[in-house]
Amino acid sequence: MTKINIFNTLIKRNRNNYLPDEQWIKEKDHKSIVIHHYCPRTFNAGDHFVVLSIRKHISRLLPNAVFVPKAVAYNRGWGKPIGLNGENIRISNEYADAVIIGGSDQYYKWSPRILAGEIENLIPPLFLIGLGASSKDLDSLPFLGNDTYRKDILAVNQKSRLSSVRDIRTREFLENLGYMDSIVTGCPALYLFDENLHVNLQSKNILLTFPYPVIRKKTQENKYQILIKLVKNIIPFISASGFDPIIVCHDDRDVPAAQKLFPDQLIFFSNYTHDYFQLYKNAKMVIGSRLHATILALSQGTPAININLDIRGQGFSETFGLTKWNINYTENDIEERLVSNINQLLSGNLSDFINFQKERDHHHQIFLKFIKETVKIILNN
C-alpha cells in the first residue's frame, strides 16, 4: 500500500470513529455543562429570538450551562463543519454533555439533512425544542421535497430523549410519520418575555412586517402581489388615522426590496436583537406575515395581526385560539378585515385575544415543564 493510500485510509478511519477519546472523558471538567446547540444562524432576527429563549430558560435551571453554537444547516454566516452528522457527531460525542436542535422550520425540506443511519452514533442525550413544519401554501401538506427524509425525521425523533413542536400542525405531521410522542409547547420565542397583552396608549408606531424577497422567490407571484398591494393600501389608512407606519425588516435581504417598494416610508432593520425588543415593546401594534414578528410582539404584550401565508401561520392561529383574528392572504375581503381589526385595537378592544392569553399561559406551563425535564435528564446523564 502506498503512503497516499495509507494516509487516506487513516483519514477515513478517523472520520468514521465516533467514539470519544477515553483520556478526555477521564479528565473532563463537569463543573460546566457543555451543550452543543444546533440552530439556524442567519441574519434573520426571528432565528435569534428562538435561540435566545431556549438558552434563557435552560440557563435559569442550569446556570453552569455553556452553549456552543453549531450550524444545523447550510445557512448564511456559517463556516464548516455543518449539520449533526459525520465530524460534528464525533465532536459532540467528544465534548458535549447534551445536544439540542432548536428551533424554527427544521422540518421544511428537512433542512438539517440528518441521516437515520448516522444519528444512532450520537452519544449525548438529544433534545428537539420547538421545531416546526412549513408548506408552500395554505392548506398544503408540509413540504419535504424528498420522501426519503421521512425515515430520517422519524429516526431523529426516536433518537431524541424529548421532542417538542411549535404547533398542532407539526404534531400531526410527525404522527403521520409514525412518531407519537411530540409535545406541543409553542414556539420558544413566545416565552422570551411574559407581558400581559395591552394597547400602548402613548405609541404612534404601527409596524408592518413581510418577507418581501423570500415570498417572491419561493411562492406564486400572485401571493407576492397580494401582500404588496395590501401594504401599500393600508399605509395611507394608518397615516390618516394619525399613526406612523414603519416597514420592519427581519432579514437583511428584505431591506433592498423595502427601499424599492416603499421609498417614502421609514424602514427598520438591525442585526442586534435588543433593538427589536425595544421596537416591538414600544409599538402600538404589529401587522404582517413574519411569524416571529407576531410571536415576539405578543410575548411583549403588543397586539399583532398575522397574515397567514402557509401552515406556519395557520398552525400558530389554531394552536393559540386566533383563527378568527388572524387573516389568510387568500380571503377576498382581506383589506376590509384588516382595517376592522386595526380599528378594534385602536379602540382598546382586546376581546379577541382572550382565548389566546389562556392558550399562551397553558402552553407556557407545558414549555417550562419540558425545559425542566430536559435539564433533569442532562444532569442525570
Query: 297 versus 95: which is more confidently predicted?
Result: 297
Range list for CATH 3.40.50.2000 in the chain: 205-349
- Give the C-alpha separation, 196 to 326, whole Å: 19
Is 205 within 8 Å of 267 (Cβ atoms)? no
Q: How confident is the model at residue 10 (pLDDT cuts 50, 70, 90)?
A: very low
Most confident of 91-105, 131-145, 164-178, 200-214: 164-178
Better-scored residue on pLDDT, 88 or 23: 88
pLDDT at 112 over 50: yes
**Residue 25: which pLDDT band, with cuts at 50, 70 and 90?**
low
Q: How confident is the model over 166-182, as a mean pLDDT?
A: 97
pLDDT at 23: 59
Q: What share of the chain in percent tops pLDDT 90?
A: 74
Q: Write down the mean pLDDT value for the chain.
A: 90
Which pLDDT band, with edges at 50, 70 and 90, does 40 fall under?
confident
Query: Which CATH architecture describes the domain 3-188+362-380?
Result: 3-Layer(aba) Sandwich (3.40)
CATH architecture classification, 205-349: 3-Layer(aba) Sandwich (3.40)
Rounded to two decimals, the pTM is 0.92
Residue 41, pLDDT score: 72
- The answer on pLDDT for 220 being more than 60 is no
Is residue 6's pLDDT more than 50? no
Pairing of strands 98-101, 162-165: unpaired
Write the CB contacts of 85 (distance below 8 Å, at least 6 apart in sequence): 113, 114, 115, 118, 119
pLDDT band of residue 7 (cuts 50, 70, 90) is very low
What is the grid cell recorded at 293?
A: 414578528
pLDDT of residue 215: 57
pLDDT tens for 120-156 read: 999 999 999 999 999 989 989 999 989 999 999 999 9
- Give the rounded percent of residues in the chain with a pLDDT score beyond 70: 89
